[in-house]
Amino acid sequence: MTSDIPGPEFGAAFSGKRVLLTGHTGFKGSWLTLWLHQLGAEVLGVSRPPETQPSLFEVAGVEGLCDSRNADINDAAALSEAVGDFQPDLIIHMAAQAIVRDSYDIPVETFTTNVVGTANVLEIARRSPQLQGVVVVTSDKCYENNEWEWGYREVDPLGGSDPYSASKACTELVAQAYRRSFFSDPKGPQLASVRAGNVIGGGDWAAHRLIPDIIRAIAAGEDTVIRNPASVRPWQHVLEPLSGYLTVAEKMLSGKGDVAAGAWNFGPDSDATVPVGDLCRMFGRLWGDEGPRFTFHSNADAPHEAGLLRLDSTRAKLHLGWHPQLCLEEALSMTADWYRRHAEGGDMRQHSLDQIKKYAARLSPPPDLSTNAELSR
C-alpha cells in the first residue's frame, strides 16, 4: 500500500514496514494507528481493551485496520505471547496509565505499568533482530516542575510531585538506560523518548480530562465543573505530537537513527499556552448554539496538579525540522467539528482519516539533517 498523504515523505519510510504499537486502543494510539495505516505500514497493536465507552478505537473502526491483540504490558509472558513471531522494524510504545488524578488512587499500578511495563516492552525490542528503532512515549510531566514561566528543555532535571509524573520520570530513566546499554551502536537500532503536552482532539472520552468532561456535560445538558480555571497548560491537537513521533521514526527507518536518538519535546508554540478557563470559553464559542455551560471554582482539597508547565521544542525544530502547524483556535475547531460529526452519526473513521489528510497537507518536508549527528543526548 502506498500513501496518498502529501507532506513529509513518511510513506516512503513506512510503506510495508512492520510496526509494533503498544497502547493502540487508547486515544493517541488509535489516531496513530489510523495514520500508520494511511502510510502503508503493517501494524500489530498490543494493548488492553479500550478503557472508555465510547472509544475512538471502536467508533472509528480502528481494529479493522491492524492486527489487534489484547495483552497487559505488565505481564511479560502475555506480552511476549501476544507479539508472537512478529518481527517489527519499528516499535512505538504508548501503553501507559496516563491520568494524573487516577495515579493518586492506584499509585502502585501506575508505577508498575509505566516503569516495569516499559522495561517489558524494551525486552521485546532487544529480541527483535530486524528492528531499526524504538520510540518510547512519555509526557511533559516527566520534568521536575518548578512552575517557572519558560519551557523545559530535554536536558532539564527529571522529577515529579505526584505518582503519575514521577512514574514518567522513571520511564525516561528506563529508556535512557536501555538506550545507553543496548541501543548505543550508531549502526544499529536506535531508541528515542518523546514528550508532549496536553493533547486535545476528537475521540477522547477519558475521565478527568477537560474536553471529554465538556462533551459529556453537553450530552447530559449539564454544566461542566471546572476545578482549576487558572491553571495554565500547553494545549495541542493530538496530530501535532504524533507528527513529531513519526518524524523521529522516519529517521530511524531511513537509516538516520543516530540523528533521532535521545529525548525530544514536541510542544505547542507559546500562544497555545493558556489558562484552563480561557480554553473553555474558546471551545464554547466554537461550539456555538446550545454549547457548553461552565461552573468555575478552585478546589483546594483536590490532589496536587501542576499549575504551569511548558515545553521548549527548539531541539526538534532545529534538528528534525518539526514545527507545530495549528494555532489553538484551529486545534479546538477540529476537535469541536469531530465531536459534532459523531453526535450527528457520521462516518468517524472516514472523518478521522480526512482530518489526518488535511493536517498532513500542511506539513513541509523536513530538511536533510543527516550531518547533524552530534546532538546533545
pLDDT in tens, 311-324: 999 999 999 999 99
Q: Which cell is 126 given? A: 532487544
Beta carbons within 10 angstroms of residue 46's beta carbon: 28
pLDDT, averaged across the chain: 90
Taking residues 275-297, what's their average pLDDT? 89
- pLDDT value of position 177: 98
Q: Compute the distance between CA of residue 121 and CA of residue 343 in angstroms, rounded to an integer.
A: 37
Contacting residues for 96 by C-beta, under 8 A, at least 6 apart: 23, 113, 114, 117, 137, 171
What sign does the dihedral 184-195-316-252 (CA atoms) show? positive
Quick one: average pLDDT of 235-244? Answer: 97
- Percent of the chain whose pLDDT exceeds 90: 76
Nearest to 118 by CA among 179, 82, 164, 73: 73
Task: Output the pLDDT for position 62.
Answer: 98
Q: Quick one: CA torsion of 167, 97, 43, 177, rounded to 10 degrees?
A: 10
Over residues 263-271, the mean pLDDT reads 93
Instruction: Specify the long-range contacts of residues 251-256, CB closer than 8 Å, at least 24 apart.
Output: 251/133, 251/320, 252/90, 252/132, 252/133, 252/135, 252/189, 252/190, 252/192, 253/13, 253/14, 253/17, 253/89, 253/90, 253/132, 253/133, 254/12, 254/13, 255/132, 256/370
Q: What is the DSSP letter of 264?
A: E
More confident residue, 17 or 99: 17
DSSP 312: -
Q: Which domains are present in the chain?
A: 10-199+236-270+310-328+346-360 (3.40.50.720)
Residue 114 CA: distances (Å) to CA of 122, 206, 236, 278, 295: 12, 18, 23, 32, 34
The cell numbers describing 295, all together, are: 461552573
Phi, psi of 244 (to 5 degrees): -65, -45
Distance of CA 239 to the CA centre of its chain: 9
Lowest-confidence region among 3-12, 32-41, 239-248, 275-284? 3-12
CA distance 328 to 245: 20
Place of cell 519535546: 265
